[in-house]
Amino acid sequence: MLLVKTIVKQSPIHGLGLFANQNISKGDMIWKFSDGLDLEISPVEFSNLSSYEKGMINFYGFHSKKTGNYHLSFDDVRFVNHSPEGNITIDKSIDDIEYPLVAKRDISKGEEITQNYYEFDESHSL
């Protein structure tokens, strides 16, 4: 669940993106797992889904490196685009079902929020 004010708009990176709607300071927590709302789908459950359902999860969700499960966030965090630099990152010092996301640097209101997909998504492996 996103903990900061954001807005979804057309992105110069790809399709829609998530943009900060407030100034965010380095270290601020951007997102944390929301039990009961964010979906965690086991590999067995995933294999039983229709190709349409799998497609949606592959597009909007990710295959978690942490849990081995497939994850689909219920809110707009799914619109975060990939960037090798990424201005947010996972915080491994706080354990949760999925690691929380924090700002790597100050992010100004209006700036697109990006993350390096390789750090959390099993299907993005080097």
Partner 1 sequence: MLLVKTSVKPSKIHGLGLFADEKIPKGTVVWEFDPKFDLVFSEKEVGKMSEIEQNLIHKFAYFSKRLRKYVYCADGTRFMNHSNTPNTDSVNFSNKQENCDVANKDIEAGEEITVNYRDIDAYDEKSKEPYLNG
Where along the sequence are the contacts to partner 1 (CB under 8 A)? 1-3, 8-10, 15-16, 34, 36-37, 39, 41, 49, 52-53, 56, 60, 72, 74-75
- Asked if residue 71 lies in contact with residue 41, where contact means CB atoms within 8 angstroms, the answer is yes
Cβ proximity to partner 1, 10 vs 67, nearer residue? 10
Cβ proximity to partner 1, 39 vs 117, nearer residue? 39
- Minimum Å gap between C-beta 20 and partner 1 is 16
Cβ proximity to partner 1, 94 vs 105, nearer residue? 94
For residue 57, the surrounding DSSP H or E stretch is: helix 51-60
- Minimum Å gap between C-beta 83 and partner 1 is 21
Cβ proximity to partner 1, 1 vs 97, nearer residue? 1
Q: Strands 81-82, 114-115: parallel, antiparallel or unpaired by DSSP?
A: parallel
- Minimum Å gap between C-beta 74 and partner 1 is 5
Phi-psi region of 71 (alpha: psi -120 to 50; beta: other; left: phi over 0): beta
Residue 17: burial class (beta carbons within 10 Å; 0-12, 13-18, 19+): buried
